[in-house]
Structure 1
């Protein structure tokens, strides 16, 4: 049985936890902003402060500060995926550099739709971001399990159509 006193204590604790979470989030966002901006002029600090408040306000409106914990259990699998992704980034960096240095500039931009086999939003976000990390490709849209990708060349599109990246990201989220 809860009494009014117990209920007040629970509400007070709930509000305090929420306030502490907001303070920590604000501090972390402000620190990242300061670190990345690298400048401390007054007008930039004011814009940074307002930017952090805007991000927190939008996050609250999107209900990103809910009390439901989000647990992502990827384990050590990202340690296996990261080297492969890094190799792909280096490989496509070289391809894009060769295209740019070629006087004929042999580009053939194209759009492709890929079906993402990931079962979670996190998996699809990792897949879409992995595509964008590789030079010459950019994820334009993600709807349900369809990803729209712009490619600099048909060869880059063909690499994505092999679904190797999709399979590797799907392996990442296995057993989550």
Structure 2
């Protein structure tokens, strides 16, 4: 998996956490993360297959590993060497690009205007922006690497995600 894919997945995960924080700073955090993502994407990264694992990643955990600064270093090392997730990279598709917040002043379903109280939420399946009422469902999206349930819009839940899940369950039994 390329470092760009890993950085994108990290961006999506952190943006999801920002959504869950229920703060007014989620948009600012997304903008900062987007800037970091663009900076890292423009830098040339060494190939993951030619970079050996750093010794720090091979050692056993110590009490100093609870230090936040050390955790950041470990995360950066993991990104720089291109760690694989437990699932095979051939099974995971790239998630759809997210519509930027500034391009969505209204819910893309009910067209309600977003405010400080009425927050934006991105559907993890289609990438569009919705209010909480129009994106109140959560399902796992293993094809994008999300094994735990993540937020999806009502349309994706009804017409795209759920039928596939039902077909998959029917073929297993």
**TM-score of the superposition, structure 1-length normalised?**
0.25
- Please identify the structure whose Cα radius of gyration is greater: 1
Q: Which has the higher helix share?
A: 1
